[in-house]
Amino acid sequence: MWTGSTSSSRTVTGFVLDDGSYWFLYSLPNTSATLAGVLQGRFTAANGVLSTASTVDLNALGNTRSEPAVAGSYQTKKTLTLNGAAGGTFNTSYSSQYEGTPSLDKLAGVFKGTYATRTTSDTVSFSINASGTVVGTSTSCTFSGKFSPRPTANLYDMVLTLTGTACIGGGGSVDLNGIAYLDAAGTTLYTVGLEGNRDRGMIFNGLRVQQ
């Protein structure tokens, strides 16, 4: 797990998975509590140099999608820097919270917060049971899916279906795949998911309101 900020004053929370894929969530400028988008792709790392492939920058609140040429540098379990994204340079430091153990018992509960797609932003409550099944309803969208603990990181794999004419763009429903992270205190949930071609997606962060 990597946390820090960008040169444009956005807060960053990032994850690099064992398969080389990465997900870096970023906030609005100077507003750390409001997620704005995600930088997602794949890393190749060697001798302190990061090369990326298939990077997508999906700014849900800005309704933009780009494919930037992102490169960077790293010190193992110390620092990671990315250049080339629209949000500016990403400067992050390693957090050992990534090395914890995910648990569906810890995740179960109700989380209320804000989600954003490229066509809407709204409040939703996610109800997650002890099996990882999640449901939720907002003004224009319904959510259903599943969280599964990852075996090699303090994260959850997420599959989520969004249904509603206005909630995702294009109408009907869309299936998203992504990840979820529960903070060390067990009070804040972050989720991000993209459809297969990564044209559409959803970001969410919310606070626990019920165990």
**pLDDT of 160-175, one tens digit each?**
999 987 787 666 788 9
What's 15's domain CATH number? 2.40.128
Domain that residue 61 falls in? 2-97
Name the domain count of the chain: 2
Asked if residues 87 and 26 have their Cβ atoms less than 8 Å apart, the reply is yes
Contact residues for 106 (Cβ-Cβ < 8 A; gap 6+): 182, 186
Residue 98, amino acid: Y
**55 shares its domain with 126:** no
How would you classify residue 198: left for phi > 0, otherwise alpha for psi between -120 and 50, otherwise beta?
left
Mean pLDDT in order along the chain per 10 residues (211 residues): 95 93 94 91 92 90 89 95 89 93 95 90 94 93 95 94 80 90 94 92 93 81
Residues 42 and 54: their CA atoms lie apart, in Å, by 7
Judgement on whether residues 77 and 104 belong to the same structural domain of the protein: no
Query: Length of the chain, please?
Result: 211
